């Protein structure tokens, strides 16, 4: 099986497991509460469907990791559900925190039901995520369940650390590259790394292999974020100037922006003067590119990718799932396979 075939087999099972977990809130007098949750997950309401659910990349990595470590992926499904629920808990709260009206093209939970309800929906998703992990008890010894929980919880605490740094630096121009890596490490890498770590733990990998997989996940996350930051400024959608899709308009402290600020050149001057309008986007992006920010970010993405792939080789992934894992890494990094 190649990556696509793995996806086709695993995705419906992930969705079923997620719905089974979410059903914990399915009771007569809780129906509207349950509906807020199923709406956010992309199953119900206006615009429900594939576009609304997101790609379920994180649960897929859990299952691929379990298989590529030599284990069976099906009993790991509750862990796959857990990481996706954690991811979605953070999205619901993020949308409140960032005041974002839309998510995947649909109104966010807080715009539909208000901030207090949205906070509660996020909290419920968070609890259900931890309940899902406990469901691993059906197939794994209690020691593994505890270990998987500890790994997921450490990633969750890193999420709150990254979120804190992100919010704290939102209106500041003195974010260092070191702060950037800690923020990205918390917000993107920690959970991806935990997905792969938990998967390989459940798949029966030895400690040294688990550690290599974990590092693979962490650097994959960093490389993915650097890549995403590049696309956020120079990607097709970002440079059209017609939308506010550009990270420059959003004022995001991304890797190229931090490089530009560090250079203290023309870009830094413009950035500190205030928000960049949609009509300036192409010009500022090109200025930033001339100052070397794009090349810098590409080098970082390339470096982190190489580190990630080095750890993956060291982890000794097995069989078709192992190859699919490599394909997934390449897909995430937008590299040709």
Residue count, binding to its own copies (CB under 8 A): 47
**What angle separates helix 115-134 from helix 31-40, to the nearest 10 degrees?**
80
Residue 23 as a binder of its own copies (CB under 8 A): the answer is: no
Residue 145 in the binding site for its own copies (CB under 8 A): yes
Using the rule CB under 8 A, is 258 a contact of its own copies? no
Question: What's the min distance (Å) between Cβ of 135 and its own copies?
Answer: 9
Q: Is 314 in the site for its own copies (CB under 8 A)?
A: no
Q: Which of positions 69-98 make contact with its own copies (CB under 8 A)?
A: 93, 96-98
| DSSP assignments along 160-207, one per residue | HHHHHHHHHTTT-S---HHHHHHHHIIIIIHHHHHHHHHHHHHTT--H
User: Does the CA dihedral 328-163-152-82 come out positive or negative?
Assistant: negative
The contact mask relative to its own copies for 112-131 (x = CB under 8 A, - = no) is: ---xxx-xx-xxx-xxx-xx
Give the integer Cα–Cα distance in Å for 37 and 30: 11
Contacts (CB under 8 A) with its own copies, residues 180-209: 182
Reported as half-sphere exposure (CB side, CA atoms, 13 A), residue 4 has a value of: 1
Distance CA 210, CA 77 (A): 19
Q: Show the binding pattern over residues 96-115: x = contacts its own copies (CB under 8 A), - = does not.
A: xxx----------------x
How many residues appear in the chain? 337
Under the rule (CB under 8 A), what is the footprint of its own copies?
24-25, 27, 29-30, 32-33, 93, 96-98, 115-117, 119-120, 122-124, 126-128, 130-131, 134, 137, 141-143, 145-146, 149-150, 153-154, 156-157, 159-161, 163-165, 167-168, 179, 182
């Amino acid at each position: 099986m190649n990556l696509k075939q793995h996806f086709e087999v695993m995705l419906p099972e992930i969705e079923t497991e997620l719905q089974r977990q979410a059903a914990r809130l399915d009771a007569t007098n809780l129906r509207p509460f349950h509906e807020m949750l199923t709406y956010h997950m992309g199953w119900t309401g206006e615009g429900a469907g594939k576009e609304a659910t997101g790609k379920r990349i994180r649960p897929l990595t859990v299952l691929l990791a379990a298989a590529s470590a030599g284990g069976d992926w099906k009993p790991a499904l509750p862990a796959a559900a857990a990481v996706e629920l954690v991811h979605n808990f953070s999205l619901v709260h993020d949308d409140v925190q960032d005041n974002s009206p839309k998510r995947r093209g649909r109104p966010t939970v807080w715009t539909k039901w208000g901030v207090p309800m949205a906070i509660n929906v996020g909290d419920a998703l968070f609890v259900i995520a931890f309940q899902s992990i406990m469901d691993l008890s059906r197939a794994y010894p209690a020691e593994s369940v505890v270990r998987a929980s500890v790994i997921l919880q450490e990633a969750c605490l890193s999420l709150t650390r990254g979120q804190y740094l992100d919010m704290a630096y939102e209106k500041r121009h003195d974010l260092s590259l070191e702060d950037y890596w800690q923020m990205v490490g918390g917000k993107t890498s920690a959970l991806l790394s935990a997905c792969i770590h938990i998967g390989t733990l459940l798949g029966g990998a030895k400690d040294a292999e688990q550690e290599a997989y974990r590092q693979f996940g962490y650097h994959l996350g960093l490389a993915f974020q650097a890549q995403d930051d590049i696309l956020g400024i120079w990607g097709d959608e970002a440079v059209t100037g017609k939308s506010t899709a550009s990270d420059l308009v959003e004022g995001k402290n991304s890797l190229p922006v931090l490089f530009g600020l560090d250079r203290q050149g023309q870009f830094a001057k413009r950035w500190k003067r205030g928000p960049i309008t949609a009509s300036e986007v192409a010009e500022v992006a090109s200025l930033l590119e001339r100052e070397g920010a794009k090349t810098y970010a590409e080098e970082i993405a390339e470096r982190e990718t190489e580190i990630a792939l080095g750890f993956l080789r060291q982890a000794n992934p097995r069989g078709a799932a192992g190859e699919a894992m490599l394909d997934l890494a390449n897909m995430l990094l937008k590299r040709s396979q």
